[in-house]
């Protein structure tokens, strides 16, 4: 019987009925349970034991006896932050029962006997289901919603229905959850406002040179390559949290690439096009604008993956213009790339390529949906509760506005990136990838490297980022920041938030690095500046955009970043 079912699942899994391999993974879990009834019995007995303890807890608390909470939400889980979840016995028991069941179910699907990929798939989608079924997501089991319903005489639900209808209209029949009051923001008005000029552009990017605020600047310019999955102004949201402005004030001549939001015309642009029209075109332009050929660089996320590719090519060809490279949450070894791997297989990429071929690009909303699933409680369900159950309007939050201002992905580049790097992990196989007719070997990179990772990063997990320390041949500094993919980077010293870890050694395993790392409160920016300025040369007269070898095209932030 099991063999017949195996064949059925094998036939179905490549089809549209099971694009993620969830059916195959689920069937393996069922097989394992049938073949090992002792494990199934042990799981059930453990759950029953916990529920009996919870029953005892309930009775004791109802009688006023001293009790100790049995199941607590993980740190940072805001679903059960309201005081009613603890003060009311009814809601306390609902909460703990849910947390207990979730713990046991996640433990069950985390069985190593399933195989690495099937285990990962089952864990991911089980968590998605558990997040969706949280008692905080339903009217009758969320004390905040019930209180609001009583106090407003149901108007919260009426307003919630209006918000739901508006989001369906905005999504043209598909639900597009509003996360932010978009009317409060405008790029160039209250976002991306650091003074500067666009001094170069081609069909793929604009190059912005920022106006100095100091009389003297370091000799070596700083060139930033942000990801083209989102827009560059994550590094320049506003005066209080602008990384770019902070660096300008520290005396750096800062350049940043502003990628185009591609349409069908750019659908054929390849990874090499981004390399040549992005990295190398920007290097040429910075040299022309400043007269300086020695440049320090930053690569953020996929911009860092691209930069690493360029560094390997430069090492092979003898191009010595880049003197140091900093990587923000950037992966080059994708063997442990986290939950995004769930969305990437040969079958899924074939389907994705077929879907993208109609327009030549991947819609921004499709990328956003995948990323939002990585943090479903924060980026999906919290807004369902706020907008539709509590009937409240989204607040003005610059980070969420930027998150919603996402970009399309050109088909040729995106499929290459996902297939060659995420799926096949070829960037770490010396000479396997050929770019600009040069075999790419990351081991040849010998310039100073600074690697930043986020402790809670769901997109580029820190253990994945750390793997680069074992690849480069030059001096590597690894730093682990608090928070995730965005807040772990955008953490100005003035905010006095989070923390970071340092360790001058880079052992093979990240666990060993962490075990001997030093904890520092606050922002890591000063630590990085202390590393970079020593590699930036002496001070020279400040450079004014347009006064060098390149004329001004337009004011920053330029046209490209405003493309929808």
Known catalytic residues are 301
Phi/psi zone of residue 96: left (φ > 0), alpha (ψ -120 to 50 degrees), beta?
A: alpha
Helix (H, G, I), strand (E, B) or coil at 291: coil
Decide if 545 contacts 245 (C-beta within 8 A): no
Query: 272-283 b/e with 16+ CB inside 10 Å = b?
Result: bbbbbbbbbbbb
In this structure, the strands spanning 295-300 and 222-225 are parallel
In this structure, the strands spanning 254-259 and 205-210 are antiparallel
Instruction: Tell which residue, 334, 325, 296, has the closest CA to residue 472.
Output: 325
Q: Helices 116-132 & 89-109, crossing angle to 10 degrees?
A: 160
SS3 readout for 395-462: CCCHHHHHHHCCCCEEHHHHHHHHHHHHHCCHHHCCCCCEECCEECCHHHCCCCEEEEEECCCCCCCH
- 257 CA to centre of own chain: 19
Q: CA-to-CA distance for 392 and 92, rounded, in angstroms? A: 25
Report how far apart the first and last C-alpha atoms of the chain are (Å, whole number).
54
Decide if 505 contacts 513 (C-beta within 8 A): yes
């Amino acid at each position: 019987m099991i063999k017949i079912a195996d064949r059925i699942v094998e036939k179905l899994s490549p089809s549209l009925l099971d694009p993620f391999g969830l059916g195959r993974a689920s069937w393996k879990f069922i097989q394992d349970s049938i073949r090992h009834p002792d494990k199934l019995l042990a799981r059930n007995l453990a759950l029953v034991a916990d529920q009996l303890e919870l029953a005892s807890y309930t009775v004791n608390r109802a009688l006023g006896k001293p009790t100790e909470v049995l199941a607590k939400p993980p740190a940072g889980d805001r679903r059960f932050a309201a005081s009613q979840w603890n003060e009311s016995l009814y809601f306390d028991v609902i909460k703990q029962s849910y947390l207990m069941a979730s713990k046991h179910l996640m433990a069950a699907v985390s069985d190593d006997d399933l195989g690495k990929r099937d285990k990962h798939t089952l864990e991911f989608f089980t968590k998605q289901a558990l997040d969706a079924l949280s008692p905080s997501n339903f009217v009758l089991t969320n004390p905040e919603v019930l209180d609001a319903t009583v106090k407003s005489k149901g108007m919260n639900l009426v307003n919630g229905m209006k918000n739901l209808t508006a989001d369906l209209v905005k999504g043209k029949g598909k639900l597009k959850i509003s996360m932010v009051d978009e009317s409060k923001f405008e790029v160039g008005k209250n976002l991306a406002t650091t003074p500067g000029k666009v001094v170069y552009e081609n069909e793929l990017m604009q190059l912005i040179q920022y106006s100095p605020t100091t009389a003297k600047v370091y000799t070596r310019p700083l060139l930033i390559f942000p990801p083209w999955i989102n827009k560059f102004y994550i590094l320049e949201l506003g005066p209080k949290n602008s990384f770019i402005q902070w660096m300008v004030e520290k005396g750096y001549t800062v350049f940043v690439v502003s990628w185009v939001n591609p349409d069908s015309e750019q659908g054929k642009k390849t990874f090499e096009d981004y390399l040549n029209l992005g990295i190398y075109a920007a290097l040429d332009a910075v040299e022309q604008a400043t007269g300086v050929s020695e440049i320090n660089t930053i690569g953020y996320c996929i911009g860092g993956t691209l930069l690493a590719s360029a560094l390997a090519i430069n090492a092979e060809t003898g191009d010595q213009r880049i003197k140091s490279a900093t990587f923000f949450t950037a992966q080059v070894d994708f063997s442990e790339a986290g939950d995004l791997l769930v969305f990437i297989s040969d079958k899924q990429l074939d389907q994705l390529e077929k879907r993208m071929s109609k327009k030549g690009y991947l819609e921004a909303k499709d990328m956003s949906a995948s990323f939002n699933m990585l943090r479903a409680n924060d980026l999906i369900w919290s807004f369902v509760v706020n907008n539709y159950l509590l009937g409240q309007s989204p607040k003005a939050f610059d980070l969420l506005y930027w998150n919603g201002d996402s970009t399309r992905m050109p088909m040729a580049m995106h499929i290459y990136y996902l297939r060659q790097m995420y799926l096949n992990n070829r960037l770490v196989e010396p000479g396997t990838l050929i770019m600009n007719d040069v075999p790419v070997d990351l081991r040849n990179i010998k310039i100073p490297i600074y690697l930043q990772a986020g402790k809670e990063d769901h997109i580029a997990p820190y253990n994945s980022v750390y793997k680069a320390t074992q690849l480069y041949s030059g001096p590597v500094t690894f730093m682990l920041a608090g928070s995730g993919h965005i807040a772990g980077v955008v953490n100005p010293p003035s905010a006095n938030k989070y923390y970071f870890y340092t360790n001058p050694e880079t052992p093979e395993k990240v666990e060993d690095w962490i075990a001997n790392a030093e904890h520092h409160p606050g922002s890591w920016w000063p630590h990085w500046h202390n590393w970079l300025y020593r590699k930036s040369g002496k001070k020279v007269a400040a450079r004014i955009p347009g006064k060098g070898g390149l004329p001004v095209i337009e004011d920053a932030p330029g046209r490209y970043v405003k493309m929808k």
